[in-house]
Structure 1
Amino acid sequence: MSGFVEKPEPLQVPGLVHLHTGKVRELYQNAAGELVMVASDRISAFDWVLPTEIPDKGRILTRLSLWWFDQLADLVPNHVLSTDLPPGAPAEWAGRTLVCTSLRMVPVECVARGYLTGSGLIEYNASRTVCGLALPEGLADGSELPAPIFTPATKAAVGEHDENVPYEEVARQVGADIAAELRQATLAIYSRGRDIARERGIILADTKFEFGYDGERLVVADEVLTPDSSRFWPADTWQPGRAQPSYDKQFVRDWLTSPESGWDRKSERPPPPLPQRIVDATRAKYVEAYERLTGMSWA
């Protein structure tokens, strides 16, 4: 069992129809048929959306995604139409709201990996493959791959795991032409992001994207290259053969799996609230990622 520890009641706003509550975002539709995405400060770990929020997290994710959309504009269009607040929206939505084109979404998590870790490492250790792609012998946790690879996954509901699938299965589900376009766009965006991050002393280990179609045009949607959708590692401490420090939920995961939390991940009991020091450390890590990548001060 997993999901929301305490599922929030979505705010009702005149002129907007609430469509969906995600792990982080609330999704609405306006009268023009456009989507209104609001990034909350919720944080998830181990497929649970936790009861404790991380202050400013939604604004950091939104601002960082907007910055990346600008860096990627020549590679692929994005879904953002406006950052203006819809009429009647609460003031607390400022800085965390995107008005977006409604797309025909492709039901695939488009994952690019440049380094071996996570679920890819588990598969590699068992079969020397990741999503069916053969990799050389001798790789360890954190090893750089000979070249970035496209390792798609099926999208899962909140509280469930996305499932890695071979490229051939994506081609079967969505068609060979769309699968090829997804792979090309995913690897192009990853490579651009990797190079920009590297200039700033950060390794982009892997990342995931969501795409949709606006007519016949492929468009990148949701968030891009944030600590929630990517593994970012400090380049100066990178050392293959061990788990790497990261700019994400590491403090949260470490605390939840520590004896102090009293939580058994294998039980069906939901995780407990986070201590303030873990909240503060996690917020600081998101701010640091934003500032190092963009070169701008969060404050």
Structure 2
Amino acid sequence: MTTIPGFRPLASGKVRDLYVPEDDDGTLLLVASDRVSAFDVVLEPGIPGKGAVLTSLTRRWFALLPEVPNHLAADESAVPEDLRDRAMLVRRLSMHPVECVVRGVITGSGYAEYRERGSISGVPLPAGLQDGDLLPEPIFTPAYKAEQGEHDENIAFDRVVELVGGDTAEALRSRSLEVYARARQLAAERGLILADTKLEFGDDPATGELVLADEVLTPDSSRYWDAEAYAAGNRGVSFDKQIVRDWLKAHWDGSGAPPALPADVVERTAGRYRELQDLLGA
């Protein structure tokens, strides 16, 4: 992790690095890197400018969702000037060990689970759905957060209740569906289909308030599709790292270290991130 004056390193994840202010005032510095991950592994090289895009989009969605409490600190003046495009000073929360996934489209790992079980995270779905079909209504399909290098585990709602308690589980589900519904509407106004998203929440230790945290509605945590292309029958034209996923599936069997991404894959992925940033006005 990079040395940042006034802060000490706390943890490094697949994409983000966390720092604690030296005065430990109850905040954290969340720095988004250009690292890219797929299938729970970090790949090389990174995507130039990606950290800045993720931060810009997260801030944009916080502004578009003012009714949802988020983890931004009231005063971010402590963020170093050279990191302002990719860092946020945030409140320290008691994070819930649940990935709050909402799906409005059946695709990806959800489609694979549906084909095997006829359901996703215990939510039964109609028979005969095809990859990329819009669901009759959005569904909450939580997952248990895995350690770095491990795969998140899709879990039923009953398991969420066991992990966090009934009231919190209900709050996580209802808040996640509310955020998705609002974001889906706003994305549609910009020619985008928000196929699915992954949200994270924590409790403010001082107030007990449920707070939206980490990255929000970015191309790393969500699938955005081109609505015009979808209407024309071309499903899955995405503004995220699907280019990386597709290349990796074709060139890596999951064993050993993944191969390095070729320059054209890096360049095309960076371009799609920037296109989404422009479409959402971030």
Q: Give distance in 2, aligned partners of 1:210 and 1:68.
A: 14
Following superposition, the deviation at residue 285 of structure 1 comes to: 0.1
Find the aligned partners of 1:18 and 1:242 in 2 and give their Cα distance.
45
Moved more, 118-127 or 195-204: 118-127
Q: Tell whether the 8 Å contact from 1:112 to 1:151 is kept in structure 2 after alignment.
A: yes
User: What is the TM-score of this pair, normalised by structure 2?
Assistant: 0.93
Aligned residue number for residue 88 of structure 2: 98
* Range with bigger deviation, 175-184 or 121-130: 121-130
Deviates more, 1:51-60 or 1:243-252: 243-252
Cα distance in 2, alignment partners of residues 64 and 90 from structure 1: 19
Residue 19 of structure 1 aligns to a residue whose secondary structure is strand
Alignment-derived partner of residue 64 in structure 2: 71
Q: CA deviation at 1:20?
A: 0.7
Alpha carbons 1:151, 1:164 under 8 Å: kept: yes
For structure 2, the 5+ residue unaligned runs are: none
CA deviation profile, 1:232-273 (whole Å, cap 9, x unmatched): 111112269986121111222233334xxxx432322x1222
Instruction: Select 2:267's aligned residue among 272, 280, 283.
Output: 280
Cα distance in structure 1, aligned partners of 2:144 and 2:104: 20
| 2:44 paired with 1:57 | no
Amino acid at match of 2:180: Y
**In structure 1, distance between residues paired with 2:69 and 2:87:** 19
Match of 2:106 among 99, 108, 116: 116
Which residue is 1:154 aligned to? 144
In terms of mean alpha carbon deviation, does 248-257 or 236-245 score higher? 236-245
In structure 2, the CA distance between the partners of 1:43 and 1:186, relative to structure 1 (3 Å rule), is same
- Which amino acid in structure 1 is aligned with residue 220 of structure 2? D
Q: Is the 8 A contact 1:112 1:186 kept in 2?
A: yes
The C-alpha deviation readout for 1:120-169, integer Å capped at 9, x for no partner, is 11121122211111111221111111111111100011111110000011
SS in 1 for 2:34: coil
Query: Are the equivalent residues in 2 in contact too, given 1:140–1:240 (CA < 8 A)?
Result: no
Report the number of matched residues: 277
SS of corresponding position for 2:151: coil
Which AA in structure 2 matches 1:149?
Answer: I
Match for residue 219 of structure 1 among 208, 211, 226: 211
Aligned with residue 142 of structure 1, among 111, 120, 132: 132
CA offset at residue 217 of structure 1? 0.5
| 1:45 equivalenced with 2:77 (yes/no) | no
Deviation, structure 1 residue 189? 0.1
Cα RMSD, aligned residues only: 1.8
- With over 3 angstroms needed to count, the CA separation of the structure-2 counterparts of 1:49 and 1:90, relative to structure 1, is farther
Residues 181-190 or 233-242, more deviating? 233-242
Between the aligned partners of 1:61 and 1:73, the Cα distance in structure 2 is 19
Aligned counterpart for 1:20 among listed residues 11, 18, 24:
11
State the partner residue of 1:201.
191
Q: Deviations over 1:41-87 (max 9, x none)?
A: 1111222211201111100110110010011111x11001144454x
SS at match of 2:280: helix
Contact 2:50/2:270, CA 8 A, preserved across alignment: yes
User: What is the letter of the counterpart of residue 283 of structure 1?
Assistant: A
Distance 1:138 1:284 in 2: 35
Ranges of 4+ aligned residues in structure 1 off by more than 6 Å: 239-242
